[in-house]
Amino acid sequence: MKIHKALYGAGFAACLLAGATNSAQARDLTIVNFGGANGDAQQVAFVQPLEKELGIKIISVAYNGEQAKVKAMVETNNVVWDAVEVETADLGRGCDEGLYEKLDWSKIGNKADFIPEAVHDCGVGTFVWSTVLAYNGKTQKTAPNSWADFWDVKKFPGKRGMRKGARYNLEFALMADGVAPGEVYKVLATPEGIDRAFSKLDELKPHIQWWEAGAQPVQMLAAGDVAMSTVYNGRIDAANREGQSLKIVWNESIYDLDYWVIPTGAPNKELAEKFIKFASSTGPQVAYSQHIAYGPINKQAIDKLDPKLLADLPNSPQNIKNALLSSYDYWADHGEELDQRFSAWSTR
């Protein structure tokens, strides 16, 4: 899809260049993301235009969200990553632990230009994404419509793909058990609610095929290894652009944001701030959503999107109507203990 470079604005890039210091450019800027279709979209929308406008080299590194790597760099004072894409729970936890720099928002942008969820002391939202229920439209003739259907292996026979981890699976389990999206975290805030979620997972456990990397559920659905799967909505969009016929159920999806953070002690901090500012601005945000079905965090970018394109994004009015916003406060407080409990549960 063609990107209109005029959206970026030469003046904006010139301002970035004017502020770049020699020390910041002593080493190539290194950004870290989750790779895949997301990494490809970032390369086109963020990296290549900024490299061209500023005359710098930006190195993109793909990872699977391993915060242990960030922690090791910070604790040994050997930080080689400048801007890192992190998920919600890791943002809250890492900020509390001092792994990420507290941001100076005067160097990033006007907070009022962004959706509220994108603004954090240590991070800037970069896009809105959803974990959704998906199925293969060629093989699944009766369409599921809820997590209750996902759990119903009699009406919808076959394996279920799920990401191996506590987060999202506990929320899905409660929604499958009849908890309304808006009540999920109230229920999970109690020991009884957590037990209820694990009990519901027990029902499905014999039918679960675990996945860990974002590409796996798409492959499993395309191959017919699973009847349905939890999956990142952008992966479905990318697969369908390549000829697949995978379908999304937006009802009861969990939407979330990924954030840019700067590891504490990053030597290229100033240039990292400029990269984040650029990636958060209107033009790059529009270009990003044109290449992958993740929603902008920039309000003006949302307004500029074609309505047909917006309809396939997690934060369109229709798709977000009965969705659940993942709580980074909840997972910052409970993530470690629930991950340990999930790990022990999954190996039983």
Closest CA to 285 of 49, 53, 88, 120: 49
Domain 5-128+257-310 homologous superfamily, CATH: Periplasmic binding protein-like II (3.40.190.10)
User: Across the 348 residues of the chain, what is the mean pLDDT of every consecutive 10-residue run?
Assistant: 37 41 61 92 97 94 94 97 93 93 97 96 96 94 96 97 96 98 98 98 98 94 97 91 94 96 96 97 97 95 93 91 91 91 96
CATH architecture of the domain with residue range 129-255+321-346: 3-Layer(aba) Sandwich (3.40)
**What are the residue boundaries of the structural domains of the chain, listed by start?**
5-128+257-310, 129-255+321-346
Same topology, domains 5-128+257-310 and 129-255+321-346? Answer is yes
